[in-house]
Structure 1
Amino acid sequence: MSRTILYARVSTAEQTLDHQRSQAEAAGFRIDEVVADHGVSGVRVMLADRPEGRRLFDKLRCGDTLVVRWVDRLGRDYRDVTDCIREFMRRGVVIRPVINNMTFDGATRDPVQQAVRDALIAFMAATAQTQAEATKAAQQAGIASARQDRSRYRGKKPSYDGVKLDTVLSMSAAGAGTSEIARAAGLSRQTVLRIRNDPVSARAALKRWSL
């Protein structure tokens, strides 16, 4: 019997397992089992090297559906993410990211459709790595600035948290419109536009208020 398995990677206090599961269920997925890694970097630790990531490879069978909030939960390394998704598709597993509700599988034999599918997977994986690099740069900039002047004015407190920021960036990468993103993230259009236009500054502002 085929199963629907949610894989969650909880790398910060804001990316809770409950949030990732509830978001999947709100999108209409009926989750049979949850596999989750906690406190693991998606940049430095490949999926197959994580305790529960290894278990995921053992569990998935032909006909199963793998649900992830976004491909960045699988990882933030371009090569690792694309290789893992291709391996799952070769096994007959269907991959379903919650945010854009796309379906990736190995069913199609049409070379043009395969090329489009693979290009989308590559784009999403590249976006995940780029976001991670931008986050790291923003963190380093924020820490350096804080060390220079601990008493400086931090500016207006952001109306978003880390989860909402990731939602805006992920849906933007998937081509969603401003209004659609605003509704999904619970933010104003103006805030969504500011984040989209300068994600590094948006990430840095969030970091300043967490110091």
Structure 2
Amino acid sequence: MTTILYARVSTTDQTTVHQRTQAEAAGFKIDHVVADEGVSGVSTVLAERPQGRRLFDMLRKGDVLVVRWVDRLGRNYQDVTETIRTFMARGVIVKTVINAMTFDGSTTDPVQMAVRDALIAFMAATAQAQAEATKEAQRGGIELAKGRDDAYLGRKPSYTRQQLDDVVARLGMGETVQAVAKATGLSRQTIYRIRDNQTEAQAAITRWAS
């Protein structure tokens, strides 16, 4: 059995190292890392990404595929659900770091299968909804940042773009502010600020990244 971490980042100021660190901190022993950098999970399905294609070639029956969350596989409902089902049909077990979910195709109990499939559908739908909400907040953040005086950057954010994405994902899955703060290493006050005004959080990152 081989445990493979698939990591994906969509912007140049993010790195996949953070995703491996998170997985190992959660107790996963990673044998191989397959990573796509600078690739959108919205516009490019997994099978069409350079390393995504490699992932399909590598995984065998009994292997474990680890992802930070299902949004690393994709941000499109149809793509994510079909991808997870394809891997399960091969005998691959899919596990997430956030929320510690496990998707295993070996069960034959109809109730367990129904619960599993419902969770897959819910998480895939949530991933797409979060992508759309984040994109809207980013657009608002960029416009807000442009509207400020060029000399005014405001206070430097106490979080990175990766941490911001992580906070948004965890809050979207219903984690408490306290749990998100513990997982990300940020203060609860920071989590509250991001939760209550994601547009301003995106704007702050945009201003300081430029």
Q: Same fold (TM over 0.5)?
A: yes
Q: How does 1:33-44 map to 2 (within 5 A)?
A: 33-44=32-43
Residue 81 of structure 1 and its aligned partner are, at CA, apart by: 1.0
Q: How does 1:108-187 map to 2 (within 5 A)?
A: 108-151=107-150, 153-187=152-186
Provide closer, same or farther for how the CA distance between residues 113 and 200 of structure 1 changes in structure 2, counting only shifts above 3 A.
farther
Residue 147 of structure 1 and its aligned partner are, at CA, apart by: 4.0
Residue 152 of structure 1 and its aligned partner are, at CA, apart by: 6.8
Q: SS of 2:137's equivalent?
A: helix
The worse-fitting range, judged by mean Cα deviation, of 80-89 and 10-19 is 10-19
Q: SS of 1:84's equivalent?
A: helix
Partner of 1:7: 6
Q: SS of 2:95's equivalent?
A: strand
Residue 139 of structure 1 and its aligned partner are, at CA, apart by: 2.6
Provide closer, same or farther for how the CA distance between residues 43 and 13 of structure 1 changes in structure 2, counting only shifts above 3 A.
same
Residue 17 of structure 1 and its aligned partner are, at CA, apart by: 2.3
Provide closer, same or farther for how the CA distance between residues 116 and 195 of structure 1 changes in structure 2, counting only shifts above 3 A.
farther
Residue 154 of structure 1 and its aligned partner are, at CA, apart by: 4.2
Partner of 2:60: 61
RMSD over equivalenced CA pairs, Å: 2.0
Q: SS of 1:140's equivalent?
A: helix
Inter-partner Cα distance in structure 2 for 1:201 and 1:131: 17
Counterpart residue type for residue 195 of structure 2: R
Deviations 1:170-205 (A, max 9, x none): 222333222121111111112222323343443233
Provide closer, same or farther for how the CA distance between residues 25 and 49 of structure 1 changes in structure 2, counting only shifts above 3 A.
same
Provide closer, same or farther for how the CA distance between residues 80 and 167 of structure 1 changes in structure 2, counting only shifts above 3 A.
same
Q: SS of 1:100's equivalent?
A: helix
Is the 1:35–1:52 contact (alpha carbons within 8 Å) kept by the matching residues of 2? yes
Q: Does 1:81 align with 2:80?
A: yes
Counterpart residue type for residue 163 of structure 2: K
Partner of 2:208: 209
Is the 2:130–2:172 contact (alpha carbons within 8 Å) kept by the matching residues of 1? no
Partner of 2:30: 31
Q: SS of 1:193's equivalent?
A: helix
Residue 146 of structure 1 and its aligned partner are, at CA, apart by: 4.1
Provide closer, same or farther for how the CA distance between residues 68 and 155 of structure 1 changes in structure 2, counting only shifts above 3 A.
same
Deviations 1:131-171 (A, max 9, x none): 22223222322333444454374443322221212222222
The worse-fitting range, judged by mean Cα deviation, of 37-46 and 157-166 is 157-166
Counterpart residue type for residue 71 of structure 1: V
Is the 1:134–1:200 contact (alpha carbons within 8 Å) kept by the matching residues of 2? no
Count of aligned pairs: 210
Provide closer, same or farther for how the CA distance between residues 145 and 189 of structure 1 changes in structure 2, counting only shifts above 3 A.
closer
Identity %: 63
- Which consecutive unaligned segments of at least 5 residues does structure 2 have? none
- Which consecutive unaligned segments of at least 5 residues does structure 1 have? none
Counterpart residue type for residue 204 of structure 1: A
Counterpart residue type for residue 34 of structure 2: V
The worse-fitting range, judged by mean Cα deviation, of 53-62 and 144-153 is 144-153
